[in-house]
Amino acid sequence: MEKNVPLRTTVESAVDHILTETGGHVRIGLPLGLGKPNQFINALYQRVKNNPQYSLMIFTALSLGRPSAGSELQRRFLEPFVERVFADYVELDYYIDLRKRAVPKNIEVFEFFFQPASMLGNASAQQNYISCNYTHVARDLNARGINVVAQLVASNDSDPNKVSLSCNPEVSLDLLPLIEARRAKGEKILAVGQVHSDLPYMLNDAEVSASMFDVLIDQPGLSTRLFSTPNMPVSLQDHFVGLHASALVADKGLLQIGIGALGDALVHHTLMRHHENATYKKLLADICASKYFAEEIASVGGVEPFAEGLYGCSEMVTAGLIGLVDGGVIRRPVVDDADLLRLLESGRIGEQISLKTIDVLLDDGVLARRTTPRMLKWLHKHGILREIISLKDNRLQLPDGTSAVNDLEDRTVREAIRPLLGDTLRTTLLHGGFFLGPLAFYRRLQSMSNEERARINMTRISYVNQLYGSERLKRLQRKNARFVNTVFSATLMGAGISDQLESGQVLSGVGGQYNFVAQAQELDNARSILLLRAWRERGGEATSNILWQYGHTTIPRHLRDIYVTEYGIADLRGRSDSECIKAMLNISDSRFQSALCAQAVEAGKLSADYVIPEVHRNNTPERLADIYAKQKDQFPSFPLGTDFDRTERTLLNALGWLKEKVSSKEYFQLGRKAMSEDAKQAERFIAHLKRMQLEKTEGLKEKLYRRLLLAALAATDESTH
């Protein structure tokens, strides 16, 4: 194999090659999420598993598996859905064994981010968890001495010498220089790419030379169903959190969104703010946000449509962010040159290119009258010149074979380059590190024209997640930045908890959350906005998600900024401890306010005579439910679409109700209560019973499941409210 010419081969041959080149001791780095080459890693895993003389260390994150059921009713719901949506998706063998606690001794799996809650109680996974900021992953993988990297790639039908890193360029692009430095010292490190025909071909930084890989696997039958994450229901709580947060997004700014239903709710209400502004303002008035949190909204965001539009820069590119692009909210263009962006933002140049563009660049000193080869490449890179002009003997060599003096102010030269000018600047609307989402999201990316896709730049995580490096450019791009992420708990003094339980069990991981919170503190007029459900319910017991203290912190309180719950907005930046406590009490659920207030008083952080304002003492689910009942159409359960059919959506609500409202002790009682209602409800919900294989029942267990399901369907069916 010639150097820099990838070996194009099959999965099994690639495994043979890797084991031969590494001596059978493999330390492999895999991208997080979608970009794992499942067939290749499975073949490698099985080969090492069956040969104890070999060893394998896997370093990765967000290993994805088909959803698994925690109860019999969940199983009946999930199995047909999973079969339909995941189809022939190939599971990760190491992940199956890891969940079964069956990974052999000669193999270790290290992850720095878990599929949420998937590894609670799994000793091996918990012990091998690596806690690090996402921006440090390339550094840390390199330090562990990985000798193989592998990922899915998209092929280029028109140019076999190029491939796209597509969904996962984020770590690979940062890791590559580190690997090259080690290779220069004589280390053998192999890069493996596996081609997938359904992977969207992303351009810009994600498009690389095929020579980046030592081995390219491209064989029939490998392009099985891509892993997808179906949109989950957006609850009433989620909607009111997203509604409040949408009023904190600043026009002509940057937006970053985290993962999950809270992000979907934010997207929905941001689109409503832009397209249905009168309805949007009425909703804000109905929940009293425009009254009680007017100061926060006025100083941080706004309620008007987006006159200038937003620029997107997010670690994870979600279906919601693409929805904001398609919806005309994310439309603020940026370029990757600070001087060019400064002129664009000031209005001195526009996206349309003409000779006037050249004149402004000359007047501003960005271009010199007599240009250089480097400057000519710069003009081509940014789309100002459609074709490359070269220099020879200090004369401009034009594409038609003629030459001209090297003088951009010369009239003859200006007329010669006029037809060579591009139509528009090469601008970007959205920078991202990786993407993951529902199948419809992948299809949307694939269906985009090259021009549309060119305005999305999937790039290195160090560019997206941190301010350092190209800082002048990033400060111009990231003005009025709003970094929106989620936590599952927060303290009254502003610490956020999102990755780990108090026991030390890791729920998910830090990922890039800390990086965005830190950026918000460093950038001018930037804010970190942490979304939080004020309370949760499990087995019929409600508890507060806002606590006095917690035994673990993801975001320390010295970086406290803005928190948003379904009850409002707490701006904590620069506030004293007592001011923070008061603001957090104002957005807590009223069932828990007195106890929380008492804890703060006991700790000496709040005066004993403090009284929570009357306007914030009606923070109840019932008040929000009343608002919802009057405008149900504004709060769809699946604002970004869904893979669930109508019957499944109803069942999903019912199963969620059982999980939240019913304790294990109450199941039998509920089943007995439902017995008399069985005949009355069965005909009404016959489609749901058929979907759950409970139209006809055998034995006491199935009869109990049927009765429980009917009771839950009756309780959650909207026509009963």
Which string of DSSP letters, residue by residue, matches 325-338?
Answer: HHTTSB---B-S-H
Domain 236-333+430-622 sits in CATH 3.40.1080.20: yes
pLDDT reading at 718 higher than 70: no
pLDDT of residue 719: 45
Which pLDDT value is given to residue 699? 86
Flag whether pLDDT at 189 surpasses 90.
yes
Structure tokens at 444: 């949307």
Q: With 60 as the cut, is the pLDDT of residue 238 above it?
A: yes
| Of 191, 187, 205, residue with least CA distance to 151 | 191
Asked if residue 297 has pLDDT above 80, the reply is yes
7-217 classified as CATH 3.30.2010.10: no
Instruction: Report the share of the chain in percent with pLDDT over 90.
Output: 87
Q: Helix, strand, or coil here: 135?
A: helix
pLDDT, position 2: 42
pLDDT of residue 121: 95
pLDDT at 551 over 50: yes
The mean of the pLDDT values for the chain is: 94
Task: Supply 716's token pair.
Answer: 């959650």
Q: Are 237 and 566 in contact (CB under 8 A)?
A: yes
Name the band, by pLDDT with cuts 50, 70 and 90, for residue 666: low
H or E segment at 590?
helix 590-602
Amino acid at 703: K
Tokens encoding 538: 């499990």
Token pair for 28: 């492999």
**Whole-number Å distance between alpha carbons of 277 and 269:** 10
Q: Is 162 strand, coil or helix? A: strand
pLDDT of residue 128: 97
Q: Of 504, 599, 473, 503, nearest to 544 (Cα)?
A: 599
Q: Are 421 and 354 in contact (CB under 8 A)?
A: yes
Q: Which residue is associated with the tokens 């017995």? A: 675
Nearest-5° angle of CA 74, CA 76, CA 78? 65
Q: What is the mean pLDDT of residues 485-489?
A: 97
C-alpha 611 chain-centroid distance? 40
Q: What angle do CA 19, 21, 22 make, to 5 degrees?
A: 65
Cα distance between residue 451 and residue 455, in whole Å: 7
In the chain, CATH 3.40.1080.20 sits at 236-333+430-622
Q: Is a pLDDT exceeding 90 seen at residue 700?
A: no
Q: pLDDT confidence of 676, banded at 50, 70, 90?
A: low
Q: Which residues contact 257 (CB under 8 A, 6 or more apart)?
A: 263, 266, 267, 314, 318, 320, 321, 484
Tokens for 434?
């990786």
Whole-angstrom distance, CA of residue 251 vs CA of residue 304: 9
* pTM assigned to the model: 0.94
Which residues belong to CATH 3.40.1080.10 in the chain?
7-217
pLDDT at 674 over 70: no
Q: Are 271 and 325 in contact (CB under 8 A)?
A: no
Contact criterion met (CB below 8 Å) for 197 and 483? no
The CA distance from 277 to 304, in Å, is: 7
Percent of the chain with pLDDT over 70: 96
Q: What is the mean pLDDT of residues 20-37?
A: 97
In which region does residue 575 sit, left (phi positive, over 0), alpha (psi from -120 to 50) or beta (all else)? beta
What pLDDT was estimated at residue 1? 36
Phi, psi of 643 (to 5 degrees): -90, -10
For 310, phi and psi rounded to 5 degrees? -115, 160
Q: Which two tokens stand for residue 283?
A: 């909703």
Token pair 């804890």 in the structure block, residue: 599
pLDDT exceeds cutoff 90 at 175: yes
Q: Using the predicted structure, report yes or no on whether residue 379 has a pLDDT greater than 70.
A: yes
Residue 185 has pLDDT above 60, yes or no: yes
Cα 360 to Cα 330, 375, 376, 382: the distances in Å are 27, 15, 16, 15
DSSP 150: E
| Cα–Cα dist 475/671, whole Å | 60
